[in-house]
Amino acid sequence: MSPPQPNGTIHMSTNKMAADPSTSEPVSKKARTGEGLVSTWPKFTHRMDQDEVKTFFKETGYIKVTDFLSEDELTALNRELTRYRRDVVPNIANKDVFYEEKDNPDTIIRLERMQTNDNFFKDLGHSPAFNGLADLLLGEDMEPNNVQFFSKPPGAKPTPPHQDGKYFMHDKGITFWLALDDADEENGCLYYVPGTHLMGELQHEKSAALGFSQGLADYSAEMQEKEACMAAKKGSLLGHHPYTVHRAGKNSSPTRWRPALGLTYWAKSCQHDEELKRRHKEYQQKLLEELENKGRI
């Protein structure tokens, strides 16, 4: 299995990992898929100053923790991403994979609901490295909701300013964004507008950006002046409130991709709200139908 390439892409090896070369013994399915691996990762409380991060989140609506994952953890995560793209993606529904060039496996720009398709990524949301951090920041009992992969290719357009709460249909959630390679102004890092989490849900309008159906109707000059650049070294963790306005810049690099992993958590009260789940499902279905009609998926 080949390691991630320097530009952030993941090489798609066709070789099957049938045996551990150090023992020549068959590798179990559990070991081959990384199941159970992340349960041994150190708890998030050992990765940050909890009080400092919680206070900063309350004031700004976002967090940034540098070196959240170790090099070994990043290597393991990228290895499982390589496996997922090679072994899982060919067998999942169109709604869970988006391409820059439709059906070209080398141009995947987004993977959705990875936790429903693979045990490693299901475990990741429940791992001590992440699980509990959302509870700390929002003061509620939270549960993993989605695990996503984003990869912004060279030349990709900006992601419009938006609030995740528009997609969530509530404000009892949080999005974590893990940099799998360096993200900076050249290759399209994130930008947050501090304090906008206190403004409630703002008006949005339809967006043409693939995977981001809604954009802020009025990204005011004041917001633009206040926005904070979230350049992040690989292994850094960002996180934001559902109402925190954020965007991503254009990838101006001719060669560098910008890969990242997203983990969203919702309050348990929302996870078990049947009316909310019904409305959210209808909204998602409508979006998928629009994308299919336009030939985007």
- Mean per-residue pLDDT for 60-76? 97
Task: Give the C-alpha separation, 94 to 28, whole Å.
Answer: 29
d(CA 27, CA 297): 35
Predicted confidence (pLDDT) per residue in 192-237, tens digit = 999 999 999 999 998 766 666 678 999 999 999 999 999 999 999 9
Confidence at residue 24, expressed as pLDDT on a 0 to 100 scale? 43
pLDDT class of 191 with cuts at 50, 70, 90: very high
Round to whole Å and give the CA distance between 222 and 220. 5
Question: Rounded CA gap, 77 and 83, in Å?
Answer: 10
* pLDDT of amino acid 27: 46
The pLDDT value recorded for residue 32 is: 65
Q: pLDDT tens digits, residue range 108-147?
A: 899 999 999 999 999 999 999 999 999 999 999 999 999 9
Pairing of strands 108-111, 246-248: unpaired
Domains within the chain, CATH numbers bracketed: 48-293 (2.60.120.620)
| Residue 30 pLDDT level (bands cut at 50, 70, 90) | low
Q: Of all residues in the chain, what percent carry a pLDDT higher than 90?
A: 67
DSSP codes, 22-35: TTTEEPPHHHHTTT
Q: Can you name the residues that pair with 214 across neighbouring β-strands?
A: 206
pLDDT, the chain, mean: 86
Whether the pTM exceeds 0.95: the reply is no
Task: For residue 52, give every residue at least 6 positions away whose Cβ sits within 8 Å of its Cβ, in sequence order, or none.
Answer: none
What is the number of other CB atoms lying within 10 angstroms of the CB of residue 181? 23
